[in-house]
Amino acid sequence: MVEIYFEADAETMPAEGRAVLQGERLAGLVGRLLAAGGLQARRLSEAGVTSGRDVSLAGLAKLPTTSKQDLWDHYPFGMLAVPRSEVVAVHGSSGTGGRPTLVSYSRADLALWSRMCARALAGAGAGPGTIIHNAYGYGLFTGGVGIHQGAIALGATVIPVSGGMTARQVTLIRDLRPRVLTCTPSYAIRLGEALAAAGLTRETGLSLEVGVFGAEPWTEEMRARIGELLGIRALDIYGLSEVIGPGVACECATAADGLHVNEDHFLAEALDPLTGEPVPYGTPGELTFTTLTKEAMPLLRYRTGDIASLRPGNCECGRTLVKMSKVTGRKDDMLVIRGVNVYPSEIERVLLAELKVAPDYLLVVDERGDQRELIACCEPLSASNLPGSAAGGQLDHGAGLGAALQARLRDALGVRVGVALLPPGTVPRAEAGKAVRVARWTAGDPPVPGLSR
Ligand code: DLL
């Protein structure tokens, strides 16, 4: 596949020129927010901002921020900067506890979103006519519809499969021979296992070459496992409904070492999650975005809760956009185990580096006793399923593997984490939606069968 840009001028513009554009757009945004009235206008006024001319990129850190709580407090249409009648679509995330976060789009917002997703697909090597198997969920969730519109803007051929019904997906991949797969990384594993079980692999003619995976955190170790399973290049795409959906940032097939942030539209900052002060480039911080050009529900300095670092510079692909690292976690998904802070992604890295376990895992927080315990549940692969191995030899399913993993987890995290090796198929697979990696065990039966203590 040949890498192309979708909007070469914007994606490869010298940083200085882009800064001028961002400054102008920031002033325009602030003007629109002030004119619209409401929460953000009030906060700007309180910060002494009376017009777009009062703000500059250099003074960004002095401007007020917004958060998910603001969206909830003004649910569903309280943060519009356009008349309600100009909203042509609503998307969002269902969130935990059934509390949805809803976001409104104007016609121009939808067009912008399509272009951002087209940039991501082009950067992955797709172009006009490329068949894209889109297994992100369609609906309120932004994954399916976002990638769908991006594929059409690019002139590619999109197969709107949505999530789930894996057997049907296998048939469609066999018959339509897509080159690009778009879905969550956990579903890529699920699909890879199903394709392998159906005898469809790189060796037997699997057509897939590249995957554009996102909507949930995944590590380099997961990238390696997906690459091995499907024989494809696995690229990361990041986004969130509040900012626009997928297409806020994406990796290019050339370097695949960080995600190009579409900062001509989404100005990126990394802030200290506690103090809210900007952290230096290269230091992990809370990603914070300002939607420079969105119309219906523009957000000033939206604090995402996602932790990643930013890095400026020119990529070998020619893009000059600032890069973000993979998201290492959310500020609220940290587990405190006997006083030690543990992020699920740190555990994923250790587990998935061990090729004798399947890439599906579940972290059980056992809260039944006085001391909170963490148990990493995973499944040993049978010898015939080991990547690159020609079966033979008995696999050590017992104490050896579990003890080795436990020792590596202790080394990496500095705290004891139990390891439960469960029979194949026990750990829940993500059939649709985002993978659930953490389960709490407060009383009664364990959250996964076969777990006993
Ligand atoms: O997940 C948008 C999306 C769809 C992105 C498809 C990429 C592909 P929400 O449902 O609003 O939107 O969830 C947003 O998901 O704040 C992150 O915590 C997480 N997330 C999204 N992409 C990534 C990623 C979509 N590549 C929330 N790596 C965000 C890690 C991600 N986390």
CATH no. for residue 426? 3.30.300.30
- Please check the confidence at residue 238 and state whether its pLDDT lies above 50: yes
Residues 314 and 341 in one domain: no
Residue holding tokens 């048939």? 171
| Mean pLDDT, range 348-372, rounded to an integer | 95
| Residue 297 domain flag | yes
| Mean pLDDT, range 216-232, rounded to an integer | 97
Residues 260 and 398 in one domain: no
Share of the chain above pLDDT 90, in %: 89
- Please check the confidence at residue 49 and state whether its pLDDT lies above 80: yes
What are the DSSP calls for 361-379, one per residue?
EEEEEE-SSSS-EEEEEEE
Task: Tell me the CA–centroid distance for residue 143 and ligand 1, in Å.
Answer: 8
Task: Tell me the CA–centroid distance for residue 244 and ligand 1, in Å.
Answer: 11
Given a contact cutoff of 8 angstroms between Cβ atoms, the answer to whether 182 and 128 are in contact is: no
What's the pLDDT band for 319 if we cut at 50, 70, 90? very high
Atom of ligand 1 nearest to the CA of 212: 8
pTM of the model: 0.95
| Residue 452 domain flag | no
Residues 22 and 157 in one domain: yes
| Mean pLDDT, range 435-439, rounded to an integer | 94
Residues 287 and 324 in one domain: yes
274 half-sphere exposure, CB direction, 13 A CA radius: 0
| Residue 324 domain flag | yes
Q: Whose CA is nearest to atom 10 of ligand 1?
A: 93
| Mean pLDDT, range 235-241, rounded to an integer | 98
Residues 151 and 247 in one domain: yes
Rg of the chain over all Cα atoms, to the nearest angstrom: 23
- Return the pLDDT at 66: 98
| Mean pLDDT, range 241-252, rounded to an integer | 98
Condensed to tens digits (0 to 9), the pLDDT of residues 152-173 reads 999 999 999 999 999 999 999 9
- Please check the confidence at residue 432 and state whether its pLDDT lies above 50: yes
Cβ of 288 less than 6 Å from ligand 1:
no
In DSSP terms, 357 is beta-bridged to: 380
Q: For residue 197, how many other CB atoms are within 10 A of its CB?
A: 11
Residue holding tokens 């399509």? 114
| Mean pLDDT, range 15-44, rounded to an integer | 98
Alpha carbons 298 and 86: distance in angstroms, whole number: 14
What stretch of H or E contains 180? strand 180-183
Residue holding tokens 């990547």? 387
| Residue 90 domain flag | yes
CATH number at residue 192: 3.40.50.12780
- 402: domain range? 334-441
Cβ of 327 less than 6 Å from ligand 1:
yes
Question: Which is higher by pLDDT, 399 or 121?
Answer: 121
- 3-class SS of residue 38: coil
Residues 51 and 183 in one domain: yes
Residues 379 and 242 in one domain: no
Alpha carbons 34 and 39: distance in angstroms, whole number: 10
Residues 428 and 284 in one domain: no
The domain boundary residue, chosen from 331, 366, 395? 331
Residues 22 and 48 in one domain: yes
Alpha carbons 399 and 89: distance in angstroms, whole number: 54
| Residue 402 domain flag | yes
| Residue 449 domain flag | no
Residues 116 and 240 in one domain: yes
Atom of ligand 1 nearest to the CA of 304: 16
Condensed to tens digits (0 to 9), the pLDDT of residues 91-150 reads 999 876 567 999 999 999 999 999 999 999 999 999 999 999 999 999 999 999 999 999
- Return the pLDDT at 275: 97
| Mean pLDDT, range 386-392, rounded to an integer | 47
- Please check the confidence at residue 394 and state whether its pLDDT lies above 60: no
Cβ of 215 less than 6 Å from ligand 1:
yes
Residues 122 and 16 in one domain: yes
The domain boundary residue, chosen from 298, 331, 364? 331
Cβ of 142 less than 6 Å from ligand 1:
yes
- With b for 16 or more beta-carbon neighbours within 10 A and e for fewer, the 313-345 pattern comes to eebebebbbbbbbbbbbbeebebebeeeebbbb
* Number of domains comprising the chain: 2
- Residue 412 in tokens: 């990496």
The domain boundary residue, chosen from 279, 301, 331? 331
Task: Tell me the CA–centroid distance for residue 57 and ligand 1, in Å.
Answer: 26
Report the residue among 238, 259, 297 best suited for mutation to probe ligand 1: largest number of ligand atoms under 8 A from its CB: 238
| Residue 55 domain flag | yes
| Residue 412 domain flag | yes
